[in-house]
Structures are given as structure tokens and as C-alpha cells.
């Protein structure tokens, strides 16, 4: 009989592997230290919140991360630029097309081919990125409703997101992790008939967003749970580096699609919705949710304009090759470059350092909006209730693959 391995559990080691910022002796007599997560539905993944409470009141919140480490930056430093794209997908896995778009633009700028791609390639990139933005927002809105007790919007949003996933699967064969936007082009052109099917989808989804407003956004119970909760002043958001719908929910019209004007976004007509404090205070949880719902409508406008271009001036031709400018070997000159793009959750940035001798980056750092946006959780939650803490975490809209990277 083989010898069985005996495991010895050392309490001291276990305590060191799960560090607590607060020690029991630091707490006042009325305070209690509790953990929410890392296995809890309302933390939206393997996030652990170390919460000091005084009864139902939140005294402080410390987020503990690192349970879903993707090792993205280490992967990027050990393989060629083009082989890193599948790992980019796995950061914000709800918006992989948007992340690929930002990464590909960065490498193209280093190669000096940015802005030289065929217009059909650019319009397809924006089309799929906005479809993915819709899918990401649908998960954010649906799961946020479920967080505070409204289950029906969750099922409705996942039902409608399924149409988007099927269309993206039709394009590249994958439902979530696509590897579709390549450096210098695309994996393949749109399938025949995709433009017509996509136009049918936009006609289908518009009334569904109106139903969402009635069911969730303007629901009295939802308003009572989110208005005047987790208020983020715009100056505090700027100081923390907050971006995306969180910052726009605080009233600042800051969207990189307009500010930087990358790809073909300057040629498209769309608005930037911002929080106005209609149901409470500017920058509260309701404003952030309302901004995401309005952005869905703006994405539909962008998609429809892209479809007009893709079936008109830049329609498919027999000799069109989306891989025509895809380089076989990527070896940029020695340089440092930072590129950024507007992802569904905020500013996604990549810092590249190329040594000029290798097709592997010397350094590739990812700036994930989920990580930065999560950093303000203590400022938003302290002084509120535990139930409000759950509402605040949901309103931030985080993906742990991007928080940990």
C-alpha cells in the first residue's frame, strides 16, 4: 500500500496567505470585521471585500484582489506582438473586441501603418466593437438589477445579449474570446448577409431598451435603492483616474471616441450622455446606470451608420482582402508608446516599450479601467449601509480578469 501524503495545516501560514488590513485589536468595541467574497455573487467574480462595520453602517472597505490573475503582462513579454491578442481578449472578457481594437492600434502606431488601413477594415472594427459594447452593457445592466433584487431584467438582458454573441460567433467562430482584430487588419471579412442580419437586430433591440427603461431604470424601487447612493463628485473621480460611464455619470462629458477621435469615430454622429442628477444627486448609482442605458442607444446609432458605409461606399468587393496589410513579422523601431481607447468600462491603455531588435516587446503594460475604478470603492461606500455597498459595487461594473490582469 502506497504511503499517503499527510497535509499539515499551519494556521500562521493560512493567516499570512490572506492578509487583513485590520487586526481585531484595532477595532472599536462596536465594530465588526466581515468578509464579503471572494465567492459571493454580488462581488461579480472572485473579489474579496474586507469590510469594517458599525452595526449596518460601513466604516471602511478594503478590496482584496489577485484571485484571478491572468499573467497578461508576463505573457506579453514572452511572445511576439501578434500572438498576444488572445491574452488581450482574456482581460475584459465581456468586451474582447474593444480590447483587441486598442491593442492593434498601438502596435500599428509603432509600425507606422496606423491610419493607412482600408476604410472597410476600420468600419468593421468599429461595428464589432460597438456590438461588443452593447453586450458588455447588457451584462452590466442585467446583473446590476439582480444585485438589488430585480431578476427579470437579468434574464431579458442575457436573452438579448445572446443575439450579439451569435452574430459575433458567425463572424469569427467564437462567442466571447475572438482573436478577430489583427495587427494590420482582420482575421476575415464579414460573412455574406451579415449586414442585413445586423440591421434586423438593431430594429429588434430598440423597443427592448424602452422596455428596460420601464422595467428597471424608472422603476420606483430601483430609484429608491440607487438614487443618492454612492455619490461620486467629479473632482474626486478625476483625482482617482476614474473613466468611462462612472466619470460621465458624474457629469463630465469625457469619451475617448470623441477626445482622441481614433479610427473612424470622427466620421460618425453620436452623443455622449452624462449624469444630470434627475433622480437624486449627480454622480450617484442611478446616474451611472442611466448613462450605460443611454450609451446602448448611442452604440446602436453608430452600428447603423457603419452598416450604411459597409453596404454603400465601402461595400464588399471580390478583391478585398482584410489581411492585406497584416505583417508577417512585427519588429517595430526602438520606442516607447502609450495607446488608449474607450472600452465599455472606461479607458483601456497599453504601454509598449520596444527595443528595436526583437519581435517580442521588452515591456507591455495594460491599464485596466476596472482596476482603477475599483480603487474608489472605500470613498463611495464609507458611511453608507451594507446593502448600499452591494449597490455601489454593482454600479462600478468590474470584470475581475481586468482588475487582476
- Considering the domain architecture, whether residues 103 and 122 belong to the same structural domain is answered as yes
- Considering the domain architecture, whether residues 195 and 152 belong to the same structural domain is answered as yes
The answer as to whether 169 is a domain residue is: yes
Structure confidence at residue 40 (pLDDT)? 77
CB atoms within 10 A of CB 109: 18
- Considering the domain architecture, whether residues 55 and 77 belong to the same structural domain is answered as no
The answer as to whether 36 is a domain residue is: yes
CA separation for the pair 180, 265 (Å, rounded): 19
The DSSP element (H or E) to which 346 belongs, if any, is strand 346-354
- Considering the domain architecture, whether residues 181 and 124 belong to the same structural domain is answered as yes
The total domain count for the chain is: 2
The answer as to whether 4 is a domain residue is: no
Structure confidence at residue 131 (pLDDT)? 96
Structure confidence at residue 392 (pLDDT)? 93
**For the ranges 60-64, 67-71, 225-229, which has the lowest average pLDDT?**
67-71
- Considering the domain architecture, whether residues 47 and 127 belong to the same structural domain is answered as no
Q: The pTM is what?
A: 0.92
For residues 54, 57, 59, 62, the Cα torsion angle rounded to the nearest 10 degrees is 110
Structure confidence at residue 7 (pLDDT)? 46
The answer as to whether 5 is a domain residue is: no
The answer as to whether 2 is a domain residue is: no
Structure confidence at residue 130 (pLDDT)? 96
Per-residue pLDDT tens digits for 346-396: 999 999 999 988 899 999 999 999 999 999 999 999 999 998 999 999 999
| Higher-confidence position of 127 and 280 | 127
DSSP codes of every residue in 5-34? PPP---HHHHHHHS--SS-GGGS-TTEEEE
pLDDT exceeds 70 at position 47 = yes
Q: Are 237 and 246 in contact (CB under 8 A)?
A: yes
φ/ψ region of 115 (left if φ > 0, alpha if ψ in -120 to 50, else beta) reads: left
- Considering the domain architecture, whether residues 376 and 263 belong to the same structural domain is answered as yes
Per-residue pLDDT tens digits for 179-192: 999 999 999 999 99
Structure confidence at residue 11 (pLDDT)? 55
Q: Tell me which long-range contacts 348-356 makes (C-beta under 8 A, separation of at least 24).
A: 348/92, 348/98, 348/99, 348/102, 349/102, 350/102, 350/103, 350/106, 352/106, 352/107, 352/110, 354/110, 356/331, 356/332
Per-residue pLDDT tens digits for 234-249: 999 999 999 999 999 9
State which of 44, 64, 84 marks the end of a domain: 64
Instruction: Provide the mean pLDDT of the chain.
Output: 90
- Considering the domain architecture, whether residues 37 and 174 belong to the same structural domain is answered as no
- Considering the domain architecture, whether residues 352 and 227 belong to the same structural domain is answered as yes
**For the ranges 38-47, 54-63, 89-98, 231-240, which has the lowest average pLDDT?**
38-47
State which of 46, 64, 82 marks the end of a domain: 64
Beta bridge partners of 186: 181
The answer as to whether 357 is a domain residue is: yes
- Considering the domain architecture, whether residues 20 and 92 belong to the same structural domain is answered as no
pLDDT exceeds 50 at position 328 = yes
- Considering the domain architecture, whether residues 89 and 234 belong to the same structural domain is answered as yes
Per-residue pLDDT tens digits for 307-316: 999 998 889 8
The answer as to whether 58 is a domain residue is: yes
**Band of the pLDDT at 12, cuts 50, 70, 90?**
low
- Considering the domain architecture, whether residues 84 and 45 belong to the same structural domain is answered as no
Residue tagged 477626445 (cell numbers)? 259
The answer as to whether 6 is a domain residue is: no
CATH of residue 137:
1.10.645.10
**For the ranges 25-29, 145-149, 273-277, which has the lowest average pLDDT?**
25-29
pLDDT exceeds 70 at position 14 = no
**Band of the pLDDT at 1, cuts 50, 70, 90?**
very low
Per-residue pLDDT tens digits for 76-107: 999 999 999 999 999 999 999 999 999 999 99
- Considering the domain architecture, whether residues 243 and 263 belong to the same structural domain is answered as yes
Q: Which domain holds residue 229?
A: 72-404
Per-residue pLDDT tens digits for 153-187: 999 999 999 999 999 999 999 999 999 999 999 99
Amino acid at each position: 500500500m502506497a504511503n499517503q501524503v499527510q497535509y499539515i495545516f499551519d494556521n500562521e501560514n493560512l493567516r499570512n496567505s490572506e492578509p487583513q488590513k485590520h487586526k481585531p485589536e484595532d477595532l472599536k468595541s462596536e465594530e465588526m470585521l466581515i468578509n464579503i467574497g471572494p465567492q459571493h455573487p454580488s462581488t461579480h467574480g472572485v473579489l474579496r471585500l474586507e469590510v469594517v462595520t458599525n452595526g449596518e453602517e460601513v466604516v471602511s472597505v478594503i478590496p482584496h484582489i489577485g484571485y484571478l490573475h491572468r499573467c497578461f503582462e508576463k505573457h506579453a513579454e514572452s511572445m511576439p506582438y501578434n500572438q498576444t491578442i488572445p491574452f488581450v481578449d482574456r482581460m475584459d472578457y465581456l468586451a474582447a473586441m474593444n480590447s483587441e481594437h486598442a491593442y492593434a492600434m498601438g502596435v500599428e502606431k509603432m509600425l507606422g501603418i496606423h491610419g493607412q488601413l482600408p476604410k472597410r477594415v476600420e468600419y468593421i472594427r468599429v461595428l464589432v466593437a460597438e456590438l461588443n459594447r452593447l453586450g458588455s452593457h447588457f451584462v452590466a445592466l442585467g446583473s446590476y438589477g439582480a444585485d438589488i433584487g430585480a431578476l427579470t431584467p437579468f434574464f431579458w438582458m442575457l436573452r438579448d445579449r445572446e443575439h450579439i454573441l451569435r452574430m459575433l460567433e458567425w463572424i469569427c467562430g467564437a462567442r466571447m474570446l475572438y482573436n478577430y482584430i489583427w495587427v494590420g487588419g482582420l482575421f476575415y471579412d464579414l460573412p455574406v448577409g451579415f449586414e442585413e442580419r445586423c440591421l434586423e437586430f438593431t430594429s429588434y433591440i430598440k423597443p427592448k431598451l424602452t422596455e428596460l427603461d420601464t422595467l428597471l431604470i424608472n422603476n420606483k424601487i430601483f430609484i429608491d435603492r440607487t438614487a443618492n447612493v454612492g455619490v461620486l463628485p467629479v473632482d474626486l473621480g478625476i483625482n482617482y483616474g476614474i473613466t468611462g460611464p462612472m466619470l460621465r455619470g458624474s457629469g463630465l462629458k469625457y469619451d475617448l471616441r470623441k477626445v482622441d477621435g481614433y479610427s473612424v469615430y470622427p466620421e460618425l454622429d453620436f452623443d455622449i450622455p452624462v449624469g444630470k442628477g434627475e433622480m437624486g444627486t449627480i454622480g450617484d448609482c442611478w446616474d451611472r446606470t442611466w448613462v450605460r442605458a443611454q450609451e446602448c442607444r448611442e452604440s446602436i446609432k453608430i452600428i447603423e451608420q457603419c452598416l450604411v458605409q459597409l453596404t454603400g461606399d465601402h461595400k464588399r468587393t471580390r478583391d478585398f482582402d482584410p489581411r492585406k496589410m497584416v505583417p508577417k513579422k512585427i519588429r517595430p523601431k526602438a520606442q516607447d508608446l502609450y495607446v488608449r481607447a474607450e472600452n465599455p468600462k472606461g479607458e483601456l491603455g497599453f504601454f509598449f516599450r520596444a527595443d528595436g531588435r526583437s519581435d517580442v516587446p521588452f515591456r507591455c503594460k495594460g491599464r485596466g479601467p476596472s482596476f482603477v475604478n475599483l480603487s474608489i470603492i472605500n470613498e463611495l461606500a464609507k458611511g453608507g449601509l451594507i446593502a448600499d455597498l452591494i449597490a455601489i459595487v454593482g454600479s462600478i461594473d468590474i470584470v475581475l480578469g481586468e482588475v487582476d490582469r
